[in-house]
C-alpha cells in the first residue's frame, strides 16, 4: 500500500487515496485549536491524501467548519464526504433519516463546509422507524439537484445494504455507492457478509478504526497498567481490561503485538498493513488529533504484509471475529430495545 496508489471507490470511477482523513477529532471532542487542525489537514493533503470524511454530528458541526476553513482555495483537490443522522443539537427533531431532516441537514453541512456540493453524502446509521424508500428517495433527489454527487451508508447490516440497493432499483433511483464500517485486526465481523455483499453490488468500502479505538496502539498488553483513553467516556465499558468480555481481546492484542515485534514492525504498522490488505477495502479512515499521530499513520502507509504474517494473524484472530458487540459500530435495535423482543 502506498499513498500514491489510488483506489477506485466501488464502481464510480472516482479515485481516492488509500488513507482517508477522518475529522471526528477536530473540534470540541478532540483538538480544540482550529489553527492546528487546519494545519494538520493541509499536511495530510500535501502528503497525498485526497479524501476527507466528516459528519454534521462531530463536535456539533464544528468539525465541518474546521474542514471548510482548511479547504478554502483547495476544494477542487479533495473528495469531500460528510454524514447525517445523529443529533447535531438538543432539538430531538434535528436528526434522523427522514426526507424532512435530510434536506435541512445537507444545506447546513454545505454552509459549514463552504461548498456547493458534497462528493459523498452518507447515512451515518440506519433507522428502523424510517422507511428505506423515504431515505433513498431524498438522497436521489439531492443527486439530481447537484447537491451531492453520490451517496452511501455507514454501519448498515447486510440485509439493510441489500434493501437500499433494491429500493433504488425498484424506482430507478441512483444506487448507494459505498458503505463505511469498522474494520481492524480485532474487529473482523464484516468479512462474514458485509464485504461479500459489497463485492456483489460494487460498493466501495471505507473502513474506520484500524487501531480498534486504541486497543492496537501497543499500550494494551497483558500485565501492563491500563492506559487512559480519551474515548472511555463515549463508550462505557469498552476499554475496561478487567471486564470479562474484554479478556479475549486483550489476549489477542498482546499476541498481535508479539507477532509485530517478530516481524520487525510496530503494532500500529501491523494494524495498518492488515487493514489495507483486503482487496475489497477502498480506503482506510485515519483520525489523527496531532501532527505526531499523522506522522505515525503516514509511516505505516507503505507496509505490505507477507502471506505468512497474514496467516499468523488468522490464527490469532480468525476471519469474521469480533469480541464485543459495541465494536461492530451499532448494536441492532432488536437487541438493544427490550420492547422489540417482548410482547405487551
Catalytic residues: 58
The Cβ of residue 312 has, within 10 Å, a number of other Cβ atoms equal to 16
Cα 93–Cα 98–Cα 101 angle in degrees, nearest 5: 50
Cell numbers that stand for 132 in this block: 428505506
Amino acid at each position: 500500500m502506498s499513498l500514491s496508489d489510488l483506489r477506485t471507490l466501488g464502481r464510480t470511477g472516482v479515485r481516492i487515496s488509500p488513507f482517508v482523513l477522518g475529522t471526528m477529532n477536530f473540534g470540541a471532542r478532540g483538538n480544540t485549536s482550529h489553527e492546528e487542525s487546519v494545519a494538520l489537514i493541509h499536511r495530510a493533503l500535501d502528503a497525498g491524501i485526497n479524501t476527507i470524511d466528516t459528519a454534521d454530528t462531530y463536535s456539533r458541526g464544528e468539525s465541518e467548519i474546521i474542514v471548510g476553513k482548511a479547504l478554502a482555495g483547495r476544494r477542487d483537490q479533495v473528495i469531500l464526504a460528510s454524514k447525517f443522522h445523529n443529533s447535531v443539537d438538543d432539538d430531538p427533531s434535528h436528526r434522523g433519516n427522514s426526507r424532512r431532516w435530510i434536506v435541512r441537514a445537507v444545506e447546513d453541512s454545505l454552509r459549514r463546509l463552504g461548498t456547493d456540493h458534497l462528493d459523498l453524502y452518507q447515512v451515518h446509521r440506519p433507522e428502523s422507524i424510517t422507511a428505506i424508500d423515504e431515505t433513498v428517495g431524498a438522497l436521489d433527489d439531492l443527486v439530481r439537484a447537484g447537491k451531492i454527487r453520490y451517496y452511501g451508508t455507514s454501519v448498515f447490516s447486510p440485509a439493510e445494504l441489500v434493501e437500499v440497493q433494491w429500493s433504488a432499483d425498484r424506482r430507478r433511483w441512483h444506487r448507494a455507492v459505498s458503505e463505511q464500517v469498522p474494520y481492524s485486526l480485532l474487529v473482523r465481523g464484516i468479512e462474514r457478509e458485509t464485504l461479500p455483499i459489497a463485492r456483489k453490488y460494487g460498493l466501495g468500502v471505507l473502513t474506520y478504526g484500524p487501531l480498534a479505538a486504541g486497543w492496537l496502539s501497543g499500550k494494551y498488553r497483558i500485565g501492563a497498567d491500563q492506559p487512559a483513553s480519551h474515548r472511555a467516556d463515549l463508550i462505557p465499558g469498552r476499554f475496561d481490561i478487567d471486564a470479562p468480555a474484554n479478556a479475549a481481546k486483550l489476549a489477542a492484542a498482546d499476541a498481535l503485538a508479539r507477532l509485530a515485534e517478530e516481524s520487525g514492525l510496530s503494532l500500529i504498522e501491523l494494524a495498518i498493513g492488515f487493514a489495507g490488505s483486503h482487496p475489497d477495502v477502498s480506503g482506510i479512515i485515519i483520525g489523527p488529533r496531532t501532527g505526531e499521530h499523522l506522522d505515525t499513520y503516514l509511516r505505516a502507509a507503505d507496509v505490505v504484509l507477507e502471506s505468512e504474517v497474514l496467516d499468523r494473524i488468522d490464527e490469532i484472530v480468525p476471519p469474521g471475529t469480533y469480541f464485543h458487540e459495541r465494536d461492530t459500530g451499532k448494536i441492532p435495535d432488536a437487541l438493544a430495545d427490550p420492547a422489540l423482543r417482548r410482547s405487551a
